């Protein structure tokens, strides 16, 4: 069974640009969550999608947005990029929505985003 797949693995952008990251969850998983990982702040929750609906959102500005498609694949978009957005962006999928404990989230290997 294939794991969580994130594309691209690496991305370099400049300030002011926008970026879209993609995540394909494990087959059968309907919940997709996104996280930002930086050396200074660690792993921080961005948002969660389940059945194409955003269920939960972390404390990030509105420049960070996402969506989920009917096949459970998800995209995350960051607009007007800032230097501080440089991070590893991780996607995780699970069978059930967060809070309904039927199993853990499984992570992809992330997209490393560098802002110049």
Partner 1 sequence: GESVGLHLPTLSVQEGDNSIINCAYSNSASDYFIWYKQESGKGPQFIIDIRSNMDKRQGQRVTVLLNKTVKHLSLQIAATQPGDSAVYFCAEMNPGNKLTFGGGTRVLVKP
Q: Could you tell me the smallest distance in angstroms from the CB atom of residue 16 to partner 1?
A: 21
Q: How far is the CB of 116 from partner 1 (least distance, A)?
A: 21
Q: Which of 77, 109, 114, 116 binds partner 1 (CB under 8 A)?
A: 109
- Tokens for 43, please give them: 């792993």
**Which residues, 6+ apart, have CB-to-CB distance to 11 below 8 Å?**
19, 21, 111, 112, 113, 114
Instruction: Mention every residue, 6+ apart, whose C-beta is less than 8 A from residue 74.
Output: 22, 23, 25, 32, 34, 49, 66, 67, 68, 91
Identify the CA nearest to 113 among candidates 3, 35, 33: 35
98 touches partner 1 (CB under 8 A): yes
Q: Which of these ranges, 13-21, 57-65, 71-79, lies near partner 1 under the rule CB under 8 A?
A: 57-65
Residues linked to residue 61 through DSSP beta bridges, in sequence order: none
Q: Among the candidate windows 13-21, 72-80, 97-105, which touches partner 1 by CB under 8 A?
A: 97-105
Question: Residues in the site for partner 1, rule: CB under 8 A?
Answer: 4, 6, 33, 35-36, 40-45, 48, 55-56, 58-60, 90, 92, 97-99, 101, 104-110
């Amino acid at each position: 069974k294939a794991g969580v797949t994130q594309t691209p693995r690496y991305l370099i952008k400049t300030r002011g640009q926008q970026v879209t990251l993609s995540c394909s969850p494990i087959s059968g998983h309907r919940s997709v969550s996104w996280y930002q990982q930086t050396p200074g702040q660690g792993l921080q929750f961005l948002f969660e999608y389940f059945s194409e609906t955003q269920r939960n959102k972390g404390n990030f500005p509105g420049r960070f947005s996402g969506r989920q498609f009917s096949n459970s694949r998800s995209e995350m978009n960051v607009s007007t990029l800032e230097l501080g957005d440089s991070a590893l962006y991780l996607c995780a999928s699970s069978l059930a929505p967060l809070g309904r404990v039927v199993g853990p989230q499984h992570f992809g290997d992330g997209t490393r985003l560098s802002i110049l």
